[in-house]
Chains A and B, each alone.
Chain A
């Protein structure tokens, strides 16, 4: 391999790793903070869970979203020259990394996902004109950005309402929680397991692929999870009718599971932001034209490690600060937020839609608030997020376009 191209591939991998680090440090910590703030897990546990399960999510479910970012937004066929494509992906990776760094420094509620997608659009338009962007995919992606927080909000609203109706409104809340809690764990297990076996590497390896089989496996595993949870909670007794502390205590245990769920879904969706451009650059640097080819597992692993590393280093600080700020989020609320956000992100990941986990978590928190579950929520955050939707893509696109033009001028 040409040393220059080797340098490009290595550099891209390094920047991709940096992006993964930034995602781990900010977005993961942001989504795990609800569990830390609700005191379901400690910082150390959060870092550990986030590291391991993001890695697992990235490897097992990462390819869907990564495929969209790598090959779905910019139509490779419209830009025939592999050299131009290579420069373009390098430019967008640089632009996204730059913009993510800047937004982190200024504490803007900006999503890595939006930056990456915006950057790709920027270079696509410059390199191949407006028609080189697959606007139907882009339309889907853009609508998923608006929809994901809304869906997170709606799910959280209903999950919390269900908790109120089936537990708090009952004559014996603790007794009700001992039954509803394990059922909730069963549902969570069902969603995770079925997502694992539907169109993934794991399903190829195990040979389980048709729907009835997947449903059967998922049902069995979720039933087992449900029974284990019932067994573990069997000795908890209420001290009085109004023993809400014990109810929260049960959900504290359940939240350990949902925070794993969050980390797993997060890895599945966000690893793509970091490694999809890298996955496009490396084969291009080798002179191959393979935008539609799959994402190599080694790269997903690199992204997973980067995210885990980000959690371990900077994420601790983020979780501590954010967790300290959201102390009035109790475990039943935290559970609702986690479940809603993780489910939304997981479904989006399966559909190959790159969405913002942070925005979905905010949506879920607002959902619980609207269900009269929180003492006070500041809705001004919605404005900030909408502004970030409107600004991130054009700015990232412009940055990427400028970098692309500069690179083309230098390299020729």
Chain B
């Protein structure tokens, strides 16, 4: 509360929080969306061996991550114990934390890719790109699921909206599973080429696959916490 007094008695105003926590969670998700959009495109070019503009992209991702951090901090710092929410506050914060982890991983990935331009072998390019696309799809599915929070709240968590959210969550699981399968394919491909590749390259290729896949894992975690939030 600001120190400036308005000189009137209005206890009803004290009942409300200035910003809605769910609104802020969705704002944070917008940052994830923004970040994943540019990272998705960037990864495809990178995998194809086009490193032009990747440094700027890494900078951009870093900037978005920072903006999202501010939203997260603001949200987390202003959830006093006296605040009553229609969902479990702990689960809500876990969802936020996992959503933020997506950005952390995106930032680290972009920075690492920028540090050492690892050439993706021609043979593996396609499967790498497919893997990245599946990961981005997982995140997008998660965004749909989280975005449905608006309707959930508006209807006070009626069955129809909970079912719909669950459908979105199934999609997340489906894509995450596909991404996992694709990652195994990527890893297998890398090991197949291990004799021909520089060991440092092998290390980095494995790392890249891991880190990209981590993004999907965290997106799935967000969906899981959302599922726990809406469970009856």
B151 and A362 within 8 A (CB): no
Nearest Cβ in chain B — how far from A177, in angstroms?
12
- The interface residues of chain A lying within 8 Å CB-to-CB of B86 are 369, 372-375
Of the listed stretches B15-23, B32-40, B45-53, B117-125, name the one at the interface; the rest are far from the partner chain: B15-23
Q: Is A381 in contact with B14, judged by CB distance below 8 angstroms?
A: yes
B6-29 contacts to A, CB under 8 A, are 6-18, 20-23
Inter-chain contact A375/B10, CB cutoff 8 Å: no
Which among A105, A376, A379 is the interface contact of B21 at CB below 8 angstroms?
Answer: A376
Contact digits for A387-402, partner B, Cβ 8 Å, 1 yes 0 no: 0000000000000000
Assess the A325–B11 pair: CB atoms within 8 A: no
Which residues in B have their C-beta under 8 angstroms from that of A288? none
Cα separation A361 to B157 with both chains bound (whole Å):
24
Q: In the complex, which residues of chain A have a beta carbon less than 8 angstroms from the beta carbon of B82?
A: 378-380, 383
- A383: B residues at CB distance < 8 A: 82
| B160: interface (CB < 8 Å) | yes
**Contact in complex: B9, A107 (CB < 8 Å):** yes
Question: CB within 8 A of A378: which of B15, B151, B158, B159?
Answer: B15
Q: Is the CB of A376 within 8 A of B10?
A: no
Contact B151 A244 (CB under 8 A): yes
Enumerate chain A residues within 8 angstroms of B159, measured Cβ to Cβ.
Answer: 169
- Tell me if B167 is interfacial: C-beta within 8 Å of chain A: no
A325 CA to B18 CA, complexed, in Å? 6
Give the dominant DSSP class at A's interface. helix
Residues from chain B with Cβ under 8 Å of A30 in the complex: 9-13
Q: How far is the CB of A301 from chain B (nearest CB, A)?
A: 25
Q: In the complex, A208 Cα to B85 Cα: how many Å?
A: 48
- Inter-chain contact B7/A377, CB cutoff 8 Å: no
Closest B-chain residue to A382, C-beta based? B82
Beyond A330-B154, A372-B156, whether A378 also contacts B16 by CB under 8 A is yes
User: What residues on A are CB-neighbors of B85 within 8 Å?
Assistant: 375-376
A303–chain B nearest beta-carbon distance, Å: 18
Task: Point out which of A105, A107, A370, A379 has the most chain B C-beta atoms below 10 A from its C-beta.
Answer: A107
Q: Which residue of B lies closest to A106 (CB)?
A: B5
Q: How far is the CA of A367 from the CA of B82 in the complex (A)?
A: 15
Q: Across the interface, which residues of A come within 8 angstroms of B22, CB to CB?
A: 375
Asked if B80 CB lies within 8 Å of chain A CBs, one says yes
A33 to B14, CA, bound (A): 13
Q: Say whether A290 faces chain B, with CB atoms less than 8 Å apart.
A: no
Known contacts A164-B156, A361-B12, A381-B11; decide if A376 and B20 are in contact (CB<8 Å).
yes
CA A244 to CA B157, docked complex, whole Å: 13
Given contacts A322-B10, A359-B11, 14 further A-B contacts (CB under 8 A): A25-B8, A30-B10, A107-B8, A109-B11, A169-B155, A326-B12, A373-B86, A373-B156, A375-B21, A375-B153, A377-B17, A378-B16, A378-B83, A381-B11
> B: which residues have CB within 8 A of A?
5-18, 20-23, 80, 82-86, 151, 153-161
Interface pairs (8), CB distance under 8 Å: A107-B7, A244-B151, A328-B16, A358-B12, A365-B12, A372-B157, A376-B84, A380-B80
